[in-house]
Amino acid sequence: MTYHDLVIIGGGPAGLAAAVSAHEAGIDDVLILERDERLGGILNQCIHNGFGLHTFREELTGPEYAERYIEKVLDCKIPYKLKSIVADISENREILYVNSDEGAVTVKAGAIILAMGCRERPRGALGLPGYRPAGIFTAGTAQRLMNIEGFSVGKKVFILGSGDIGLIMARRMTLEGAKVICVAELMPYSGGLNRNIVQCLNDYNIPLKLSHTVTKIHGKERVTGITISEVDANRRPIPGTEEYFDCDTLLLSCGLLPENELSKSAGVTLDRVTGGPVVDDKLQTDIEGVFACGNVLHVHDLVDYVSEEAERAGRQASEFIKSGNSENKEYIKLSAGTGVRYTVPQMIDVKNMSGSVTVRFRVSDVFRDKAVSVYYDDKRVICRKKRILAPGEMEQIEIKKDSFDSKVPENIKICVEEQI
């Protein structure tokens, strides 16, 4: 069995940034395993602009952003394998991958970085009634068909779900000459970024119907239309509010799910809310030497944050390869209080933490003129006023090591509360 210091599962934005930072931290024996035919991951099909404002201080398209990191990987001569799918990871860091050149190969890794990304919630997981005609796509599938493979997806389009990919596809299909009738969203607020509502829907007069869902798909061979209904506060369709739309295509943009089958096979504990691994401040999972970053850890809105997180994972994995884990750890739990859905990381090792830890979280509802507070046990230590907080926009807060003066708290809680 061959051995590599570091094996990275996935050659998308997270995997690439992690590889480069591990290389820069002095780890030469790195291997990236990617299942697609090229590096870059989902960025290759995200041809719209808006990437890289934080990382490169300029506005790039997805493929351009990916190319910057791919070039770094090539410059550093970091080995990678394409069209190679990982089938299994064991608890002792043995990785089984398969490709058509080598067959099934097992490699042993000093450390593993999980960077498999996420996938879209499919129709089957939404429980939409009706036949299964052609013309129903997840927004990302339609995006790939149009932008990479050059197919036309539909002429008269209805979009369910106002996630960013759905909004981006509303504009994309309009520009390609399709008529996008409407975007319906189950929740009373959009899951997408504000800017995408402005430049993808408002610019093209595409209506957004909040608190609505599809209650019937019409058509047997091909979609011929859909019926939507308004939903009540419990997201149940309200009888009598049905409205029919003629269309030949239904796009689904109803959420992203971290892709963690491999993490599970390695025995990694997953967080019920994020769907990703539970990690500490080093982005290490509960299996020693297995780290996670990017959308496999929790779904991000900005690739810039993915790259930054992945660079941290790369550095931490390098540290682990060089000197292993400290014997002497002291964990404190981070908990999501009122108005907060989750935090990443979920715990901090106060004995070994660096000077400052970035904690990312999402709120559970739209809040106006509230404050984000951090409590160490019962004591409020941070209170930051926020004009607006929305579930679609990830928030972050820094926890500084020197903020634990004499006494280390047992629990750190982040919550949304009234301004004072």
| CB closer to another protein out of 146 and 250 | 146
Q: Which window, 195-203, 218-226, 260-268, 348-356, contacts another protein (CB under 8 A)?
A: 195-203
Out of 87, 125, 134, 148, which residue is the one contacting another protein (CB under 8 A)? 148
- E strand spans, 186-242: 208-210, 212-218, 225-230
Whole-angstrom Cα distance, residue 59 to residue 53?
5
Question: Which residue type sits at 126?
Answer: L
Q: Which window, 61-69, 335-343, 378-386, 407-415, contacts another protein (CB under 8 A)?
A: 61-69
Q: Is the peptide bond before 345 cis (omega within 30 degrees of 0)?
A: yes
Give whole-number Cα distances, 414 to 127, 208, 219, 346, 383, in Å: 34, 32, 48, 11, 10
Cβ–Cβ under 8 Å, residues 306 and 268 = no
| CB closer to another protein out of 193 and 293 | 193
> Please, what is the minimum distance in Å from the beta carbon of residue 388 to another protein?
7
> Please, what is the minimum distance in Å from the beta carbon of residue 420 to another protein?
22
Cβ–Cβ under 8 Å, residues 335 and 343 = yes
Cβ–Cβ under 8 Å, residues 248 and 154 = yes
| CB closer to another protein out of 128 and 146 | 146
Contact pattern for another protein over residues 283 through 312, marking x by CB under 8 A: ------------------xx----------
Whole-angstrom Cα distance, residue 160 to residue 249?
11
| 173 closest CA partner among 160, 157, 184 | 157
> Please, what is the minimum distance in Å from the beta carbon of residue 358 to another protein?
17
Tokens describing residue 285: 């999972």
Q: Which window, 140-148, 224-232, 248-256, 279-287, contacts another protein (CB under 8 A)?
A: 140-148
Out of 104, 198, 238, 408, which residue is the one contacting another protein (CB under 8 A)? 198
* Coil/strand/helix, residue 28: coil
Q: Which window, 18-26, 141-149, 243-251, 374-382, contacts another protein (CB under 8 A)?
A: 141-149
Residues in the site for another protein, rule: CB under 8 A?
44, 47-50, 53, 59-64, 67, 146-150, 172, 175-176, 193-195, 197-199, 203, 301-302, 387-388, 393
